[in-house]
Homo-oligomer: A and B are copies of this chain.
């Protein structure tokens, strides 16, 4: 558990998910929460239980499936309805029952929003805050308050905006996060307002959006003006121009302002990319600290001087955030992380071997592979480098898939594989609801008689990303497959021009890895 003196509060799973094109399943949310916990954030806002079934399920599954080391879960929700009691409000009940140790209540602090959007009186809005905060506190949860549209509200009616802060604090809210909901603020005006509110004495937080390109600077300005709780999203996800990028904020605070937030910055680049694999949104190569290009040098002028002293041309040592100056040649992986990863998988790598693996990974990454979400492919690669040959349980002769929409509207997908295993030549044909499914079935049908363990193999997720998006279906295709058997999950990756060929590669690696796990020696 973190020291409570300064809060790093992540809202990727709630406010970040408002981003256009970002749709997270419950399983996605659980994975992202684990990554954020590894990074060492203090709070993870999981969603709005009660308001939508997916978020309710997230909190339910989190109880048994999420074993957080550092972070506490926060459930987001609104103050009770006008004219009712918090104790009787079903949405407040859902917050209580979420099991989250923290509830973050959103409340209106802008007079016009109370009147026009909430359609109640200013006084009733205060009563709603007072009643909901004190009710949840009495029921044993810690309460933070998001003061929505705070800065616009302060401009419109400062006395009322302050009254909201005061009411929430008196009712027992531990933190009042001032939200620049429309994102229109610039740092100095924002800092002036924060300083005035801080004079009231309540503990303050800050929640910024990037509509002026100043979300990070606004957050830092608020910290300087006295807030001790910063909200943001992984990779700057969020509605419109996004929320404050939490990675940039903590990088700046720890490396430039000397805060010790307990964030594992050395894991930050890896985690930023792992999160973007889950969201299936291409990681921003220019992203400060963690972007692929963040420490990439192109200027010829620089290149020679970089050799003399790299720090002449870098604002920080990229290793501090797990990034790499040679990112142009690619690769997140330094030798140290390869050694570490190898050890994690049970392989002791000498310096030379590790270097060799790093080279191989760099080469493959520049061809479009990624191993963040493909442990199994990485392990097969590692074994290949150590053993001098690829682990293989079968040899492919050929395969073919046909997908047809017949004149009567019926869809038919069929695949045939021809392969050699244990000295036999096997031909099998499978049908499926799509070409990959048909290929998967044909491959297993061919192998299950020889390797019965494959019957436990299940594909749990299948993701496709087109690389170098400029040419649509003409581009290179990366397929990530997540598989499981009775005792665990693993990921594999395939990259080809052709989506079916990339899928085949990832499928075949998954089957190989399944057999490796089952203890088969190499044939």
Contact = CB atoms under 8 A, between A and B. Distances in A.
14 contacts: A19-B286, A182-B313, A183-B315, A186-B217, A239-B299, A282-B469, A398-B404, A401-B435, A413-B500, A434-B500, A434-B501, A440-B473, A459-B471, A462-B466
Interface of A: 18-21, 23, 25-27, 52, 112-113, 116-117, 149, 181-184, 186-188, 210-218, 220-221, 224, 236, 239-242, 245, 248, 251-252, 256-257, 280, 282, 284-289, 291-299, 304-305, 308-309, 312-316, 328, 331-332, 370, 372-373, 396-407, 411, 413, 418, 432-437, 440, 458-466, 468-475, 477, 481-483, 496-501, 503-504
Nearest to A293: B20
A316 B184 contact: yes
B241 A288 contact: yes
Contacts of A405: 396, 398-400, 501, 504
Given A435-B435, A468-B26, A474-B459, A287 B220 contact: no
Nearest to A409: B398
Given A248-B213, A459-B472, A498 B413 contact: yes
Contact of A312 (B27, B113, B291, B483): B113
Kindly list the 10 A-B residue pairs having the minimum CB-CB distance in the complex, ordered from nearest: A459-B472, A184-B315, A217-B217, A464-B464, A117-B305, A434-B498, A213-B248, A433-B497, A213-B216, A437-B473
A236 B236 CA distance: 16
A435 B466 contact: no
Contact of A211 (B245, B282, B315): B315
Contact of A407 (B280, B397, B459): B397
A48 to B, nearest CB: 10
Q: Most chain-B Cβ atoms within 10 A of its Cβ — which of A295, A315, A477?
A: A315
Contacts of A418: 407
A401 B402 contact: yes
B471 A460 contact: yes
A435 B500 contact: yes
A216 to B, nearest CB: 4
A404 B399 contact: yes
B291 A241 contact: yes
Nearest to A281: B470
B472 A20 contact: no
Contact of A216 (B23, B52, B212): B212
A285 B282 CA distance: 12
B498 A256 contact: no
A370 B23 CA distance: 9
Contacts of A477: 434
B186 A220 contact: yes
A485 to B, nearest CB: 13
Contacts of A282: 469-470
Nearest to A248: B213
A39 B370 CA distance: 32
B464 A463 contact: yes
B437 A20 contact: no
Given A305-B117, A497-B434, A287 B241 contact: yes
Contacts of A280: 463, 465, 470
Contacts of A217: 186-187, 213-214, 216-218
Contacts of A396: 405
A183 to B, nearest CB: 6
A308 B212 contact: no
Contacts of A500: 403, 413, 434-435
